Amino acid sequence: MGSRSGAEVPQVTRQVALAAFPKGCLAMRVRDELGPLFEDEVFRSAFGVRGVVSHEVV
């Protein structure tokens, strides 16, 4: 994940999202109205390099 703190949504991502949801969706409207909900560094600190194991497989 590259650090893009506060950056706009990449153009290709926007095009794919609009192709999939021409009328938009709740997540897209929230992002458009409120901006990013998580900064990359804060979000990244929640996960190790290999992720977090949610449960142990027995």
- Asked whether residue 1 carries a pLDDT value surpassing 50, the answer given is no
What pLDDT score was predicted for residue 54? 66
Amino acid letter for position 41: E
DSSP, collapsed to helix, strand or coil, labels residue 44 as helix
What pLDDT score was predicted for residue 42? 73
Distances (CA, A) of 35 to 8, 11, 16, 44, 53: 9, 16, 19, 18, 29
Distance (Å, rounded) from C-alpha 17 to C-alpha 27? 10
Global confidence as pTM: 0.52
Using one digit for the tens of pLDDT, what is the confidence trace for 7-55? 678 899 999 999 999 999 998 998 888 887 777 777 777 776 665 566 6
Domain parsing of the chain, residue ranges = 11-44
